[in-house]
Amino acid sequence: MESGFLGFLEKNSIYIVMSIVLVVWAGIFIFLLNTDKRLKAIEKELKEK
């Protein structure tokens, strides 16, 4: 049995679920940011040509 913070997480597993969902959301957010940035670059390139 772990002690301290890890022990707390072991006893309250809902916080593990919460952290995983947060990480997934961060991933989706970064993906959307990147796609948006790339589209802007393509739109700019198309306008210049």
Partner 1 sequence: MIWKITLFVLMCFVIITGIAFPIVPKPSSWMQFPIIPGLEEKAKIIFFHVPTAWLSVVAFLMAMVYGIKYLRNKNLDDDSRSSASLQLGMMFCILATVTGSIWAKFNWGSFWSWDPRETSIFILLLIYGSLFALRSAIENEEKRARLSAVYSIIAFLTVPFFIFIMPRIMMGLHPGSLEIDPVTNQVVAGTNPVVDFKMNGSMRLVFFTSLFAFTILYYWMWSIRSRAIIIKENLSKKLN
Identity of the residue, 6 or 14, whose beta carbon is nearer to partner 1 in the bound complex = 14
Residue pair 1/7 in contact (Cβ under 8 Å)? The answer is yes
Decide if residue 33 touches partner 1 (CB under 8 A). yes
Decide if residue 10 touches partner 1 (CB under 8 A). no
Report CA torsion sign: 31, 37, 40, 41: negative
Query: Please, what is the minimum distance in Å from the beta carbon of residue 8 to partner 1?
Result: 12
Q: Distances from the Cα of 37 to the Cαs of 41, 46, 47, in angstroms?
A: 6, 14, 16
**Where along the sequence are the contacts to partner 1 (CB under 8 A)?**
14-15, 17-18, 21-22, 25, 29, 32-33, 35-36, 39, 42-43, 46
